[in-house]
Amino acid sequence: MNFIVDFLIDYYGPIPYLAIFLILLACGLGIPIPEDITLFAAGVLTYYGVCDIWVMIGVCLVGVLIGDTFVFWLGHHFGRRLIKKWPFRLFLDEGKIQSVRGRLHKHAGKTLFAARFMPGLRSTVFFTSGLLHLPYRNLIVFDGLAALISVPSIVFCVFYFGDYLEKVIRYIKKVEGGIFALIIAGVLYFVIHHYYQKKRKA
């Protein structure tokens, strides 16, 4: 994050927006750059007055959704071929895809929503949803709703509480940890509920 901020802090105009947009696109494609760190850097740039808060939030939302859309499109048009090719086979192995396939068949909306808060699984979920030819509107609706929560939350936190950056970092980690815990709890609930329903039927 320090590198991004230090590099962009001296630039004004479209360059910081374009840089954040391109980094978020790269995050969506599975390149190992933490999306949350990029959003945090975007917030720091707005705090220092380099960028406008509302424009930056718009740029971040568009960057996030276009990146996810591109991954969905790859899965939709070239899914099976790409799984067998390097470097896609490194992070899109058959085991992961089969696991995600089952979740998408049962709870497509919930899985697409939850994927935004699971960096290690996000690209696989969106790729597999394209591979399964799920309606694109599902991705936009559920991923979009999740992005409307996560993106402005992080950028606004840093913008408004920039004087307490260390505290903001801790707060974001707690919030994301809480969201992740709720998602895990939800998944466990549906698994246990499904298990008892099957047992009752048997």
Mean pLDDT, consecutive 10-residue stretches, the chain (202 aa), reads 54 81 80 78 85 93 91 82 65 67 78 80 82 88 91 87 64 54 55 64 64
The full set of domain ranges for the chain reads 2-201
What does the pLDDT read at residue 188? 57
What does the pLDDT read at residue 45? 85
Name which of 34, 36, 41 is nearest 56 in CA terms. Answer: 41
What does the pLDDT read at residue 61? 94
What does the pLDDT read at residue 38? 84
What does the pLDDT read at residue 6? 52
Show the tokens assigned to 132: 């399964």
3-class DSSP string for the chain = CHHHHHHHCCCCCHHHHHHHHHHHHHHHCCCCCCHHHHHHHHHHHHHCCCCCHHHHHHHHHHHHHHHHHHHHHHHHHHHHHHHCCCCHHHHCCHHHHHHHHHHHHHHHHHHHHHHCCCHHHHHHHHHHHHHCCCCHHHHHHHHHHHHHHHHHHHHHHHHHCHHHHHHHHHHHHHHHHHHHHHHHHHHHHHHHHHHHHHHHHC
Tokens 């992080």 -> residue: 154
pTM over 0.75: no
What does the pLDDT read at residue 133? 84
Name which of 150, 155, 128 is nearest 139 in CA terms. Answer: 128
Show the tokens assigned to 42: 């975007």
